[in-house]
């Protein structure tokens, strides 16, 4: 208790130095929190673009379809899977899909294409497919007056085949039963842009794609959205436990290369921010060390009346950590409103960015316990470490030499 009183007295006695040091640490904490918030918010936005563009948060396949897609690797027991997904409290949306490569004809030109059979009602609950329609209108699963079903095609395919809305496109593929699948479809919409992942995609209504590919009522994939996007890996694990005959994978596994790249970039940014904060604390170390030098006589008196060296180390440690804690609390009060505004409102970009056919014009941060507590823990740990050299110096002071100092 006595050490705590001495620590508080010393902080108050050196008010000017304490205030300047505290402001330096508070500024460092605010900068750290804001940088983490911006980094997490930016990556969260990128993950949203990535997952809501096509992958979803979790995917369900038959065997190793995700790595080695084959038309016959289908999920047959759809009713059981869909009943489970409808009743799961952590699943906010799901959509079945069917896939196949194809050869597309338009006019006198040909191109390879990727057929994607989607449920016209459920797919928009999982991805931003409707927002990516750049020309025409989102389709339905009903044939037109001439009996042709509608299709939506990617911008890259439209440019290569010189096709527009209401033109006809011919698709040729292989059916699951070994037959040659071929049919004519009417283009209802152009999707995305020339850089989208689906730029050579052909979207068909799911039932139409199933009949075209001769897979009956089977599907190749279920894409899911988790109510908590940060907890999708646990959702995948829970679903895998009740669907042992299928393969349930989080997006981090489906898109492992992208995820590793993201983690590497985040770690690099964390290191840079940590280095900046550590440099701030080097200045704090200098301040604490000067304080110890100025109080050499005081420490000599304390040692002469029986104060143990370990108690002096503890005194310097408590002073530094208390000052850091007070500074962090001040910084927290000042930065929380800024982070909340940045998370809820964000900063409008002068130039909107088109990412995969979806336009984003606002930069936002992230407000979470991690954003607040991680910098706090790092700064308190750093404060504890930088208090040790001055504390050890104070512990080595000899009373006889200290009493004769000025």
> What's the confidence (pLDDT) of residue 297?
66
Residue 345, CA distances (Å) to 124, 334, 352, 361 in order: 25, 18, 16, 12
∠ Cα 343 346 347 (to 5°): 150
The β-bridge partners of 219 are 75
280 and 172 share one domain: no
> What's the confidence (pLDDT) of residue 32?
83
> What's the confidence (pLDDT) of residue 215?
93
| 338 falls within a domain | yes
| 241 falls within a domain | no
> What's the confidence (pLDDT) of residue 22?
72
| 102 falls within a domain | yes
**pLDDT tens track, the chain, 406 positions:** 555 565 565 555 555 666 677 777 788 788 888 888 888 887 777 778 778 888 899 999 998 898 899 999 999 888 889 999 998 889 999 999 999 999 999 888 899 999 999 999 999 999 989 988 989 999 998 998 888 999 999 999 999 999 999 999 999 999 888 889 899 999 999 998 877 788 899 999 999 999 999 998 999 999 999 998 888 999 999 999 999 999 999 998 888 887 888 788 778 877 877 777 777 777 766 666 666 666 666 666 666 666 777 777 777 788 788 888 888 888 899 988 888 888 887 777 666 565 555 556 667 778 888 888 888 888 888 888 877 777 777 667 666 665 555 5
> What's the confidence (pLDDT) of residue 292?
65
| 239 falls within a domain | no
> What's the confidence (pLDDT) of residue 4?
56
SS3 content of the chain, % helix, strand, coil (to 5): 50, 20, 25
Tell me the three state secondary structure of residue 255. coil
101 and 159 share one domain: yes
> What's the confidence (pLDDT) of residue 5?
61
Check if the beta carbon of residue 391 is closer than 8 Å to that of residue 317.
yes
368 and 302 share one domain: yes
> What's the confidence (pLDDT) of residue 313?
76
294 and 171 share one domain: no
φ, ψ (nearest 5 deg) of residue 173:
-150, -175
pTM equals: 0.74
Residue keyed to tokens 């492992």 = 256
Q: What does the DSSP 8-state code read for residue 149?
A: P
Check if the beta carbon of residue 173 is closer than 8 Å to that of residue 183.
no
75 and 27 share one domain: no
79 and 22 share one domain: no
| 65 falls within a domain | no
40 and 162 share one domain: no
| 265 falls within a domain | yes
| 227 falls within a domain | no
> Residue 390 corresponds to which tokens in the numbers above?
């001055």
272 and 319 share one domain: yes
| 20 falls within a domain | yes
∠ Cα 139 144 150 (to 5°): 35
Q: What does the DSSP 8-state code read for residue 216?
A: T
Q: How many domains does the chain have?
A: 2
Supply the range of the domain harboring residue 380: 2-51+259-403
């Amino acid at each position: 208790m006595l050490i705590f009183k001495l620590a508080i007295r010393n902080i108050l006695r050196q008010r000017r130095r304490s205030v300047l040091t505290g402001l330096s640490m508070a500024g460092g904490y605010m900068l750290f929190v804001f940088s983490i918030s911006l980094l997490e918010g930016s990556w969260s936005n990128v993950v949203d673009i990535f997952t809501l563009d096509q992958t979803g948060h979790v995917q369900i396949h038959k065997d190793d379809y995700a790595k080695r897609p084959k038309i016959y690797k289908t999920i047959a027991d759809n009713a059981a899977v869909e009943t489970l997904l409808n009743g799961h409290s952590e699943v906010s949306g799901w959509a079945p899909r069917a896939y196949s490569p194809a050869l597309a004809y338009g006019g006198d030109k040909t191109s390879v294409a990727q057929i994607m059979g989607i449920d016209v009602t459920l797919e928009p609950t999982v991805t931003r497919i409707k927002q990516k329609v750049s020309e025409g209108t989102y389709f339905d699963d009903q044939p037109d007056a001439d009996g042709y079903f509608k299709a939506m095609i990617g911008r890259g395919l439209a440019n290569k085949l010189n096709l527009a809305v209401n033109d006809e496109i011919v698709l040729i593929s292989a059916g699951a039963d070994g037959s040659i699948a071929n049919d004519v479809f009417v283009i209802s919409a152009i999707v995305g842009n020339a850089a989208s992942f689906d730029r050579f995609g052909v979207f068909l209504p799911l039932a139409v794609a199933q009949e075209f590919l001769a897979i009956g009522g089977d599907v190749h994939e279920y894409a899911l959205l988790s109510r908590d996007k940060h907890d999708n890996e646990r959702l995948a694990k829970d679903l895998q436990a009740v669907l042992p005959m299928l393969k349930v994978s989080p997006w981090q596994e489906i898109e492992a290369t992208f995820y590793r790249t993201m983690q590497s970039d985040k770690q690099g940014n964390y290191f840079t921010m940590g280095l900046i904060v550590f440099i701030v604390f080097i200045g704090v170390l200098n301040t604490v060390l000067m304080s110890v030098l100025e109080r050499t006589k005081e420490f000599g008196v304390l040692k002469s009346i029986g104060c143990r060296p370990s108690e002096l180390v503890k005194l310097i440690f408590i002073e530094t950590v208390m000052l850091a804690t007070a500074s962090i609390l001040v910084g927290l009060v000042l930065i929380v409103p800024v982070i909340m505004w940045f998370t809820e409102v964000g900063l409008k970009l002068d130039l909107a960015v088109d990412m995969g056919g979806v336009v984003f014009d606002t930069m936002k941060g992230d407000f979470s316990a991690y954003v607040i507590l991680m910098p706090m823990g790092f700064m308190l740990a750093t404060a504890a470490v930088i208090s040790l050299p001055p504390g050890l110096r104070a512990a080595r002071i000899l009373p006889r030499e200290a009493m004769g100092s000025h």
